[in-house]
Chain A
Amino acid sequence: MTSAEIAITTSVALVALVTFYLGRRSATQHNVAQDFDIARRTVRSRRNAAAISGEYLCAASFVGIVGAVLADGADAMWYPIGFTAGYLALMIFVAAPLRRSGAYTLPDFVEARLGSRSLRGLASAVTVLIALLYLVPQLQGADLVVRTLLPVPGWAGPVAVTAVVLLTVIGGGMRATTVAQAFQYWLKLFAIVAPTLVMFAVFVGSGAGNGAVSLSSAGPPAFTEPTTVTVEESVTLRVSTETKFLADGVVDGEPAQSEMTLDAGVGMRVSAGTTLRFEKGTYVPVVVGSPADNAGWLMPGDGDGWDLAGTYSLIIALLLGTMGLPHILVRFYTNPDGKAARRTTLHVLLLVGLFYLFPTLLGALSRLYVPELLVTGKTDAAVLLLPTAVLPGLPGQVLAAVIVAGVFSAFLAATSGLVFSVAGVVSTGLLPERVRDFRLAAALLALVALGLSLLPRSPDLAHSIGVAFALAASTFCPVLVLGIWWRGLTAKGAAAGMVAGGGTVLVALALDIISSHTGDWAPTLVQRPALISVPAAFLLAVVISSATRGDVPATVNGVMLRMHAPDRLGFVRDSEIPRYGRAEEKVRLGQGRHRR
């Protein structure tokens, strides 16, 4: 093992150990069944906000955004904006009423508000789908880290993450994950801020980048030193100014073993296994689909009208998808009341926004220091390779180890949060003996996700996460927003909205996967379907609800009162712990028990 590998292995092991220790410690302190579940709703607002942020900042935030900014430039900056803005939407339209409704998960909310068992089943199924779409990219991110940095096979990464998560979740419960997640947030913040500042200082100190072509010059990016790139998956390359390189392998379907010239604007198909050797200062060819020169990279809105629609589609998915993420919603139940839920969300907005100032900077630095990733299209590795490219030797290795600690923590936090919350959804529907059942559900979920993550799929993490957000935005967002603010929503309307929105996203996802194996013919809106699916879901939910007006549940007034009456009036009744949010505890408001 080299010193870099030792540093990285150590930092990963430390993160896993601390996470496990924090989980273990609180698990032994709180082993009553009630504590196991919801930490008795006494988790403090600030720590809860850190825990939510810790769970939320996932592979897409740490690895995906940097890769997306490296490849797409200004247009990728909508990811951090959307990820943050999602909490504003959540805070304004969902946080306080959802907390007061006493629902623990979305299926609970749906059943309490609309009083339909079958709709509960549908909501549970959608929750599991969202969780899987969200889990798989996390585990694939772990695969990427291991394959990029360590001399072991890629599958070791997902397996390790799954193992740590299962140990923590099954052994600890919510209290454990709250402490662990809050820790993960601060760890991630440190792991991105410190290396970014150091690397930025080095960049400024070295006279703007080692003689690299400055980012503000219009031409394509250039190699700062002689570079050899091996293409692992076949790619089509393009360049905006003629470039030369030595190729060894198969180019445009023919064997090549000589110097090649790639003319401006011509696509060149480079087959898997081909090695390309570039001299210092030559221009970097870029995988088709990303801006080929810095001018296009620097400027937002450089594409055609479809790209513009794609940008809006992404914004809608991220803005409205956050409120439908199962692991985020569960956290709101740990707030003491609606007002605290709103305050917590405000804190999250601050913490998450603070974090998202940095990935953009890393993405921009990557374009200067690791342009070779543009040739293979594996831009998600940027954040991992950047430290050693900026600072050769030990300092770079230390920075890389710090970043890897943050990255690994991102996988862990998001994965454990999802497994925990969705295992609850799976298990509440089944047997009454919750704890054992819960463990079984957690193990099943994690193993299915692990199995799916080992299948080959698109390497673009930010994009994969975007699909999970699109599904959440097209199913749960309409149900939540309409259910909280509109008395007219009926179970049939909600079901129609969820099926239409979710179905659209799933069909688009299937088309996208087929297209990625058969020549990338899918248009932008297939890759980013939210612009169509979200309005369709809202429209259908409203139209069908209006058509079935007679089905509005009789309990609607009571539920509305409970969700919106200020906390001090004491209408919130927390459900019994093991059977929270079920029909039995529905609005027993009239009994005259008021809390001051």
Chain B
Amino acid sequence: MRPSSVERVPGMPAHLKGGDIDAPTKPKRQRVVLGGGAQGPIAPSLRARVELAEQTSWGEMLIRDLISALLRWGLVLAVAAVLVLGLLPLVFWLVPGFASFSVAGVPIAWLILGLAPFPLLFGIGVAYDRLAERHERDFVDMIEN
């Protein structure tokens, strides 16, 4: 019962994808893998993978969602960095008094420009790394279950 539901896969991409010449040759291999396995639980995961690989409309939507999630987070963090650092030249230019304020003899502008950006950039990098890996893990979990 379950293997037969997987065997429907080849038909879908062929008519959904249309133009791809390679498509008709691919599905046959899938059937061989399944015959060998004959295990129920792997079928849904494989189905999702095939839909991804064939980029059926559902598979394409899945990857579109992942891309837009990653892009959204990337832009949020990049904009945060650009706002914090990128507004500094304007602030220094518009408010000269701010730059001449000094801490322990060192002008605050030198502390802000010479020290602060590096931990900030690294911190944002760590944040993006975490986010991206979490999204990718969730994506894999979704495909495999």
Footprint of B on A, CB under 8 Å? 74, 77-78, 81, 84-85, 87-89, 91-93, 96, 216, 298-302, 305, 308, 311-312, 315, 339, 342-343, 345-346, 349-350, 353-354, 356-357, 360-361, 364, 485, 554, 557-558, 560-561, 564-569, 571, 588-592, 594
Contact = CB atoms under 8 A, between A and B. Distances in A.
Contacts of A77: 110, 113-114
Contacts of A311: 89
Contacts, number: 159
Interface of B: 13, 19-20, 22-23, 26, 29-30, 33, 49-50, 52-55, 59-60, 63, 66-67, 70-71, 74, 77-78, 81, 85-86, 88-90, 92-93, 96, 99-100, 102, 105, 107, 109-110, 113-115, 117-119, 121-122, 124-126, 128-129, 132-133, 136-137, 139-140, 143
Contacts of B107: 74, 216, 298-299
B113 A299 contact: no
Contact of A590 (B53, B86, B102): B53
Output the residue of B54, B100, B125 with the most chain A CB within 10 A: B125
B66 to A, nearest CB: 6
B53 A564 contact: no
B77 A356 contact: no
Contacts of A85: 81, 85, 117, 121
Contacts of A561: 52-53, 55, 59, 63
Contact of A560 (B29, B67, B117): B67
A346 B113 contact: no
A84 B86 CA distance: 14
Contacts of B90: 301, 308
A298 B52 contact: no
Contacts of B93: 300-301, 305, 308
A564 B124 contact: no
A299 B92 contact: yes
Contact of B129 (A300, A343, A564, A568): A343
22 contacts: A74-B107, A84-B121, A85-B121, A88-B121, A91-B125, A93-B78, A298-B107, A299-B99, A301-B90, A301-B92, A315-B85, A339-B133, A339-B136, A346-B129, A349-B122, A353-B122, A361-B114, A554-B19, A560-B67, A569-B140, A588-B22, A592-B33
A360 B109 CA distance: 13
B140 A564 contact: no
Contact of A569 (B52, B85, B88, B128): B52
**Most B-side CB within 10 Å, residue of A78, A339, A349:** A349
Given A300-B113, A485-B71, A564 B52 contact: no
B89 A301 contact: yes
B121 A301 contact: no
Given A77-B114, A81-B85, A357-B115, A93 B121 contact: no
A4 B6 CA distance: 78
Nearest to A81: B117
Nearest to A92: B74
A571 B99 contact: no
B121 A564 contact: no
Contacts of B113: 74, 77-78, 81, 300, 360
Given A349-B125, A588-B22, A88 B81 contact: yes
A301 B33 contact: no
A345 B74 CA distance: 15
Given A353-B122, A554-B20, A592-B26, A566 B136 contact: yes
A112 B129 CA distance: 26
A-B pairs with lowest CB-CB distance, top 4: A301-B92, A301-B93, A353-B118, A566-B136
A316 to B, nearest CB: 9
Nearest to A554: B19
A562 to B, nearest CB: 10
Given A84-B118, A357-B114, A298 B109 contact: yes
A350 B132 CA distance: 18
Nearest to B50: A592
Contact of B128 (A92, A356, A594): A92
A588 B85 CA distance: 43
Contacts of A78: 89, 113
A564 B89 contact: no
A566 B139 contact: yes
Given A561-B59, A566-B136, A571-B52, 8 more contacts: A78-B89, A84-B117, A88-B78, A300-B113, A346-B122, A353-B118, A353-B122, A564-B63
Given A81-B117, A84-B117, A356-B118, A299 B50 contact: no
A92 B78 contact: yes
Most chain B C-beta atoms within 10 Å of own C-beta, residue among A354, A356, A560, A588: A560
Contacts of A308: 89-90, 93
B12 to A, nearest CB: 12
Contacts of B71: 485
